[in-house]
Amino acid sequence: MPQSREAVRLEPGPTCVQQARRWAAAVCRDMEREDLLDAAELGVSELVTNALLHATEPVTVRVRGTRAHPASRSPTAPASRRASRPPSPSRARTTTSSASC
């Protein structure tokens, strides 16, 4: 069974993140990887939220293997910023890292 899926295109709006979570859950079920369902929903929620805040529209999300890849058509790369304090461990980063194969 192929583990890559076609990208989903998400238009900004009040249900965009919810649509992304539902899509990620459906992909996990389709791949028979329900063990990754919670991590996929959380990770995709975080990625899509950040894309909506910092990227140009529309946002696309693609699954390759068990990793999600958000994308934007922005010609500008994201700018690095220095944190004003040391970063705290991110639940999404930790969960996504532990769930990806």
Number of domains the chain is built from: 1
pLDDT-based confidence at residue 86 (cuts at 50, 70, 90): low
Flag whether pLDDT at 88 surpasses 80. no
Q: Is 42 contained in some domain?
A: yes
Tell me whether residue 11 is in a domain. yes
In a domain, 62, yes or no: yes
Domain assignment present for 80: no
Q: What is the pLDDT of residue 93?
A: 46
- Asked, for residue 22, whether it belongs to a domain, the answer is yes
Q: Output the pLDDT for position 38.
A: 92
- Using the predicted structure, report yes or no on whether residue 21 has a pLDDT greater than 90: yes
pTM, 2 dp: 0.61
Range of the domain at 21: 5-75+85-99
3-state secondary structure the chain: CCCCEEEEEECCCCCHHHHHHHHHHHHHHHCCCHHHHHHHHHHHHHHHHHHHHHCCCCEEEEEECCEEEEECCCCCCCCCCCCCCCCCCCHHHHHHHHHCC
